[in-house]
């Protein structure tokens, strides 16, 4: 088992299905976890704060000030940050580009790209001063090539891939690794409701994605940066 004892990991989107899987995986690896969510009540319903776990509720990481406030809170509690895991995100699809409205494009870029961008921008100066750090972002399979009906979503996830690779290139001399995962269809209750006739056994489990993210955040992946790792299950 990978051991992150003494490491401090910020996990955004901690009330989501993938965020919960990451919280469990990183907690089991003995990391100090800062679990971030928009709702303090939802966080409190899912987790208990203790010496190794800080619950950071009421954050909207699409706002630059909230991302900065999160870093300040983490440093005040633990004195350092070693890992940033960005799982916050959302999905919308089903309409052709010329039929969709700009509000969908704005919403997808806000929740998928802007939150990741702000969180990265907030932690990177600390990582540079520290001379180390790991960032793991969540893009998507749909970010690799065009998919009918997924224009806004796919474009926002494609931007996350580009952001990841750009950060990796900019920070490679600073001891900072930046990677992302590309999930296929994730086996979640919502996806099962939306696609009741699909073969769920081919979908990728959130825990399986979290395991890959844990690896990318660990010293085992110290030579890996700029990677976009497919995590498709059998889909």
CA distance 215 to 88: 19
Domains along the chain with CATH numbers: 8-228 (3.40.50.720)
pLDDT exceeds 80 at position 54? yes
Q: The pTM is what?
A: 0.96
Which residues are annotated as catalytic? 153
Residues 136-172 have pLDDT tens digits of 999 999 999 999 989 999 999 999 999 999 999 999 9
Banded model confidence at residue 20, pLDDT cuts 50, 70, 90 = very high
Residues 164-222 have pLDDT tens digits of 999 999 999 999 999 999 999 898 898 899 899 999 999 999 999 999 999 999 999 99
Among candidate residues 24, 34, 26, the one with its CA nearest the CA of residue 5: 26
């Amino acid at each position: 088992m990978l051991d992150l004892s003494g490491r401090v990991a910020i996990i955004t989107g901690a009330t989501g299905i993938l965020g919960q899987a990451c919280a469990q995986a990183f907690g089991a690896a003995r990391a100090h976890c800062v679990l971030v969510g928009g709702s303090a009540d939802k966080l409190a319903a899912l987790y208990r704060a203790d010496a190794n776990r800080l619950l950071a509720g009421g954050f909207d990481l699409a706002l630059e000030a909230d991302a900065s406030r999160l870093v300040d809170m983490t440093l005040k509690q633990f004195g350092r940050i070693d890992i940033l895991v960005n799982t916050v995100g959302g999905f919308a699809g089903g309409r052709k580009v010329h039929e969709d409205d700009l509000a969908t494009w704005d919403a997808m870029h806000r929740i998928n790209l802007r939150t990741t961008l702000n969180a990265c921008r907030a932690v990177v100066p600390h990582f540079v001063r520290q001379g180390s750090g790991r960032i793991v972002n969540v893009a998507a399979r749909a970010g690799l090539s065009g998919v009918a009906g997924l224009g806004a979503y796919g474009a926002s996830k494609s931007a996350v891939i580009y952001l990841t690779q750009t950060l990796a290139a900019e920070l490679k001399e600073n001891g900072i690794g930046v990677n992302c995962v590309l999930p296929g269809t994730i086996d979640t209750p919502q996806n099962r409701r939306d696609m009741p006739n699909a073969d769920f056994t081919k979908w990728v489990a959130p825990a399986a994605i979290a395991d890959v993210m844990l690896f990318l955040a660990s010293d085992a992946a110290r030579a890996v940066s700029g990677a976009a790792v497919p995590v498709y299950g059998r889909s």
